[in-house]
Structure 1
Amino acid sequence: MQVLHPASIADALAMLAGGDARLVAGGTALQLEWAKGLPKPRSLVDIGQIGGLKGIVPAGNEFRIGALTTLGALERDATVREELPLLAAAIRATAGPAVRNLATVGGNVAGRTGCLLPALLALDARVESSSVVGRRTLPLSEWLRQEPGGEIIEAITVPVPGAHVRWTHRKIGLRAAFTPSVIGAAGIIEIVDGRVAAARLAVGGGMVTPPRLRRAGPASPCLRRRPAVSRRRLERFAGGDRGRDRRAGRCLPFRPLSPQGCGQRPRARAERR
């Protein structure tokens, strides 16, 4: 096996076109494949030294995350933790610290089964990529529906949710930590004037490419024409177990809408119960 070191995206695309070649950056996904006995390519195209593919750049009301940015760098970024808490929660639930310091966000997305995908789908992320026919930017949900191969991810753009949102993240693996997800789910609910205005839910796990659950949006019987949904109801809807998951760090509290909280049961009704 030979390792090639392109100096640019164009060089890397030309090397891929040579046949029987795979891209590599952090290499964590490839190691998992080889541990399963999958065949190794004749060439590895190491894109780790190509400029402009790393970094977390605020751009208006969104973040542009270079494809070679490691999960560890995202985890340590205070602005990401503050502005994108759903993504931060998904990162903390992915592998262990040593792997997160190697694994890249581009690699997690390119494999089409990465643990970050449900959260990125719920956040309406977009994928910037290049191929021999040029550059393009697509919603992640659309990009995942297309046939893989022949392109290089340059960045992931993630919009910052508005102030009036609630979110949840849930990952179930074979162990409590350092395990691929058997199933992972993420969701965001936007509240306008005390009512559900939009809901974005996504689920994935195993070798299945995660989809957006478009039929489980605001038209869902659980959400249609409802006032702001309580934490308990939304966690039940997302399949969470709040008592257990808070200890495991997998399902974090929703961002409140007011100091009094949202979706609280009226006092009189609570007293009658």
Structure 2
Amino acid sequence: MKPFSYSRPATPAEAVQAFAGAGVGARYIAGGTTLYDLMKLNIEQPQHLIDVTAIRGMDAIDTSGERLRFGALAPMSVVAVDPVVVHDYPVLAEALWKAASQQLRNMATVGGNLLQRTRCLYFRNGSGNPSSVGVFPCNKRVPGSGCAAIGGLDRGQAVLGQSDACTAVSPGDWPVALTAMDAEVEVVGPAGARNIPISALYRLPGDTPHLEFTLAPAEMIVAITVNKTVAGRRSTYHKIRDRESYAFAIASAAVALEMDGDRIGRAHVALGGVATRPWRAPEAERFLIGKRLTPAVALDAGKAAFAHAKAGHRNGYKVELGERTVADALTIAVGRTV
């Protein structure tokens, strides 16, 4: 770990000012469950850390109005057990409590969780020097160096949204649930405040996989909002992993349903563990409108969600697994009482 300076501002404006003053080597830090890990691996080498945990009010949770609003510093563990979230939006609660160990959930914040970086083994096991290609080339770590996963060990890589430069999976659970629920992210930066749809926060890898988010330099997430909807009651986050204890998803589905009698009036479907960003599945959503959910319909919806999947050498299993994960999530969601 390299030496760095440290500051602890009291307001978002002070934090933004500190970041802008420190320049490209600055990083915001809250729970630190991702950044410290990457620093120890020498993937991140910040010159200045800006600790935002002293900013008052940025951990507030408000479920009283027309929207759910989660301050960016709210711990994952606290949001996961909020009574309104648990009762009316199980997709959000489940995405949080399935996301990590209890110790991590106690430290990690819902804002910081949005900015996790990939768990791709080639990204995380390079030369120990982020400016060197090292043993395993990685375009996320060193732009233009290549992607060792393409043609390499790709069992955990994406089958949706990949490019010729990168196939790394987006690792989060919480962002997938928020994507299904059309969440927005409130940010502040040198140019002021703005709201970003969660779907616009994440970039596809394209030719520039090292550019993962659409945040401008020095911008900071201050809150996440979700419009209240009746679909929240009939919702779930269904996660498949290599072991039942804490592990990242190899396939997951966030589903929320609005029913019209015994037929689906509107469906929200998002996928995790299979794509280079939290992945919305509009093909599945359109297919489900007006249909009664039978096992066959649920599986056909899963197939629609993966209609454009492209498997590599060893990750083809993710396509059928993902289809069945969507089908199971739909079955769980439709069975929940309103």
Question: What amino acid maps onto 1:136 in structure 2?
Answer: R
Corresponding residue number in structure 2 for 1:191: 259
Corresponding residue number in structure 2 for 1:234: 298
Per-residue Cα deviation, 1:227-251 (whole angstroms, up to 9, x for no partner): 3x14785377352399xx9xxxx99
1:242-253 equivalences under 5 Å are 253=332
Q: Work out the number of aligned pairs and report it.
A: 249
Asked if structure 1 preserves the Cα contact closer than 8 Å seen for 2:90 and 2:237, the reply is no
Per-residue Cα deviation, 1:171-190 (whole angstroms, up to 9, x for no partner): 23343222222333212221
Question: What amino acid maps onto 1:134 in structure 2?
Answer: G
Corresponding residue number in structure 2 for 1:102: 107
Pair 252,101 (structure 1): closer, same or farther in 2 beyond 3 Å? farther
Query: What RMSD, in angstroms, separates the aligned Cα atoms of the two structures?
Result: 2.9
Distance 1:206 1:23 in 2: 28
Q: What is the aligned counterpart of 2:14 among 6, 11, 15?
A: 11
Pair 213,253 (structure 1): closer, same or farther in 2 beyond 3 Å? closer
CA offset at residue 36 of structure 1? 3.7
Pair 110,241 (structure 1): closer, same or farther in 2 beyond 3 Å? closer
Distance 1:241 1:213 in 2: 10
Question: What amino acid maps onto 1:172 in structure 2?
Answer: I
TM (normalized to structure 2)?
0.66
Distance 2:237 2:50 in 1: 34
Pair 160,3 (structure 1): closer, same or farther in 2 beyond 3 Å? same
Q: Which moved more, 1:44-53 or 1:232-241?
A: 232-241
Question: What amino acid maps onto 1:124 in structure 2?
Answer: D
Per-residue Cα deviation, 1:212-266 (whole angstroms, up to 9, x for no partner): 1223212x2xx25423x14785377352399xx9xxxx9993264769xxxxxxx
Pair 172,161 (structure 1): closer, same or farther in 2 beyond 3 Å? same
1:39-188 equivalences under 5 Å are 39-111=44-116, 113=170, 114-145=172-203, 147-150=214-217, 151-162=219-230, 166-188=234-256
Distance 1:71 1:46 in 2: 18
Asked if structure 2 preserves the Cα contact closer than 8 Å seen for 1:185 and 1:203, the reply is yes
Pair 110,252 (structure 1): closer, same or farther in 2 beyond 3 Å? farther
TM (normalized to structure 1)?
0.80
Pair 94,75 (structure 1): closer, same or farther in 2 beyond 3 Å? same
CA offset at residue 137 of structure 1? 1.5
Question: What amino acid maps onto 1:192 in structure 2?
Answer: D
Distance 1:158 1:217 in 2: 19
Which sections of structure 2, spanning at least 5 residues, go unmatched?
118-169, 204-212, 303-322
Asked if structure 2 preserves the Cα contact closer than 8 Å seen for 1:110 and 1:153, the reply is no
Distance 1:252 1:153 in 2: 34
Distance 1:97 1:128 in 2: 27
Asked if structure 2 preserves the Cα contact closer than 8 Å seen for 1:166 and 1:256, the reply is yes
Asked if structure 2 preserves the Cα contact closer than 8 Å seen for 1:74 and 1:80, the reply is yes
Distance 2:83 2:272 in 1: 27
Say which structure is richer in strand: 1
